[in-house]
Amino acid sequence: MEKDSRPSWDNPMQFVLACVSYAVGLGNVWRFPYLCQMHGGGGFLIPYLIMLVVEGVPLFYMELAIGQKMRLGSIGAWSAISPYLGGVGIASVVTSIYLCVYYNVIIAWALWYLFHSFQPVLPWAECPANANLTGQLEECELSTPTQYFWYRETLNITSSIEENGSIHRGQALCLILAWTVVYLCIVRGVQSTGKVIPLC
């Protein structure tokens, strides 16, 4: 009775799009081509595709089938199969938490760049002037304007790991905004998530 009251997707397409958005992340866009190139180029795709068919797709389908059949979360589904497999569900949840933190930091950086892009001259297009306005900052001239903006304006890194920096207020606000958007997308479970997924 309690399981039947659990909310479900409005239509199958929302479920498929949710699975695709979960499986295809930023790593597919910028990390996978690099890994292919480092491990043999096109030759890397042969064992990759074999393992995708032999191991990846069956495990993905098994996880979906277990979740749909039992209508439980990751921890509950694996614990229902066997109490000894509860750790697999916990590991899955911990991995998801790490991914959420990682991706939200990247989203915060993207928002930071988006907000800074509404200027006639992009701040990473040229070096800023020095204190007495006689030229450009030496640190920026030794690198590039893009690197200077990334390390000094975006990350605001310290000169060494022993130095503690202060909280970067702009980045903190962007991170709060990123988490707020994520919260608003998932606040009502699959009802709100299903409406947002087609927009992504």
Cβ distance 2 to 183 under 8 Å? no
CA 78 to chain centre: 25
Q: Is 104 annotated as a binding residue?
A: no
Q: Is 129 annotated as a binding residue?
A: no
Question: Which of 70, 177, 73, 61 has the alpha carbon at shortest distance from 115?
Answer: 177
Enter the tokens of residue 147: 């690197």
Quick check: helix, strand or coil at residue 94? helix
CA distance 112 to 17: 28
Q: Is 24 annotated as a binding residue?
A: yes
Exposure string of 94-119, with b = 16+ CB inside 10 Å and e = fewer, is eeeeeeeeeebeebbbebbbeeeeee
Binding residues for Na(+): 23-24, 28
Binding residues: 23-24, 28
